[in-house]
């Protein structure tokens, strides 16, 4: 089923994204860091001051999980609870649709913060095969902080978030997934000179001051 989806997807993407990219090719900033590093918090602040649209892979997957007609709802629920990375065919399809819908509504909205993606080799390969030449990855914002800070922030968030994965058991797994699967992707971009590393253990405003300096410089 997933194979079929991916097949259909690669046929559709050239036509749809090609059409919107005639207007302006999507400019993408990947936003990475451990669970609770503050990616979502900083993305919201960036959106307030810069012309970016924030797309969170986690949020899109949670929305899809909640959609009644979704054929992937249960699968996504299981992966999220286990802190595992959902198959790329699902995630990239959600991202692509969200990008297209944004640009269709307003052709000037071609700058995207893609938060929580690419999270592993599979994500990266999926992106390269589906989006290569159709979107430009400008750079990566890497919010860096210790596992302990990440866990404490998520446990605090868990008091009100209602998230099924903001508990100690899921968090241990999410941290392992982050260290084993996502860090190597950040290292890979680092070797290409594309990573801006930000010390995310400081206050929200201190972190944002660094973010602003980077965005102002990158243009
Ligand atoms: P992520 O998107 O990386 O999972 P969030 O932005 O949701 O992380 O932040 C996780 C939790 O930590 C939230 O409850 C948020 O309010 C809090 N938080 C985010 N940034 C900071 C910070 N710099 N200092 C303290 N708490 C923070
Ligand atoms: P987040 O909201 O970024 O903390 O992500 C919550 C969960 O959603 C993760 O632990 C994964 O199960 C899933 N998820 C988020 N981003 C991705 C992605 N890029 N690929 C696959 N699964 C993802």
- Per domain, the residue ranges of the chain are 27-218
User: CATH says 27-218 is which class?
Assistant: alpha beta
The answer to whether 183 touches 177, Cβ cutoff 8 Å, is no
Which pLDDT does position 54 carry in this prediction?
98
Q: Is 168 annotated for ligand binding?
A: no
Which residues line ligand 2 at a C-beta cut-off of 6 Å? Answer: 35, 57-58, 61, 79-80, 83-86, 91, 116-117, 119, 123, 165, 174
CA-79 nearest atom, ligand 2? 12
Residues 139 and 218: their CA atoms lie apart, in Å, by 9
pLDDT one-digit tens code per residue, 62-90: 999 999 999 999 999 999 999 999 999 99
Q: Is 185 annotated for ligand binding?
A: no
Which residues line ligand 1 at a C-beta cut-off of 6 Å? Answer: 33, 35-41, 153, 156-157, 203-204, 207
Angle between helices 147-161 and 168-177 (to 10 degrees): 140
Model confidence band, residue 18 (pLDDT cutoffs 50, 70, 90): low
Res 12 pLDDT > 80 = no
Model confidence band, residue 219 (pLDDT cutoffs 50, 70, 90): confident
**Atom 2 in ligand 2: which residue has the minimum CA distance?**
58
- C-alpha 127 – ligand 2 centre gap (Å): 15
pLDDT one-digit tens code per residue, 126-142: 999 899 899 999 999 99
Give CA separation, 201 vs 61, 74, 86, 104, 187, in Å: 26, 34, 27, 37, 20
The answer to whether 152 touches 41, Cβ cutoff 8 Å, is no
CA-117 nearest atom, ligand 2? 19
Phi, psi of 136 (to 5 degrees): -105, 125
- C-alpha 43 – ligand 1 centre gap (Å): 11
Written as six digits, the tokens of 95 are 């991202």
**Atom 26 in ligand 1: which residue has the minimum CA distance?**
153
pLDDT one-digit tens code per residue, 184-202: 999 999 999 999 999 999 9
**Atom 1 in ligand 2: which residue has the minimum CA distance?**
58
Mean pLDDT for the stretch of residues 175-188: 98
């Amino acid at each position: 089923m997933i194979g079929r989806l991916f097949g259909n997807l690669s046929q559709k993407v050239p036509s749809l994204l090609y059409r919107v990219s005639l207007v302006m090719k999507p400019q993408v900033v990947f936003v990475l860091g451990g669970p609770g590093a503050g990616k979502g918090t900083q993305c919201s602040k960036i959106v307030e001051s810069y012309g970016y649209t924030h797309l969170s892979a986690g949020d899109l997957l949670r929305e899809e999980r909640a959609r009644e007609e979704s054929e992937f709802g249960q699968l996504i629920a299981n992966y999220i609870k286990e802190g595992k990375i959902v198959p790329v065919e699902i995630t990239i399809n959600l991202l692509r649709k969200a990008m297209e819908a944004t640009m269709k509504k307003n052709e000037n909205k071609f700058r995207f913060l893609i938060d929580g993606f690419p999270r592993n080799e599979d994500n990266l390969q999926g992106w390269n095969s589906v989006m290569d030449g159709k979107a430009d990855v400008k750079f990566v914002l890497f919010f860096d902080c210790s596992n302990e800070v990440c866990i404490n922030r998520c446990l605090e968030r868990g008091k009100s978030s209602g998230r099924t994965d903001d508990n100690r058991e899921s968090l241990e797994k999410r941290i392992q997934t982050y260290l084993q699967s996502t860090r190597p992707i950040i290292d890979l971009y680092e070797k290409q000179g594309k990573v801006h590393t930000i010390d995310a253990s400081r206050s929200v405003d201190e972190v944002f001051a660094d973010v602003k300096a980077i965005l102002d410089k990158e243009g």
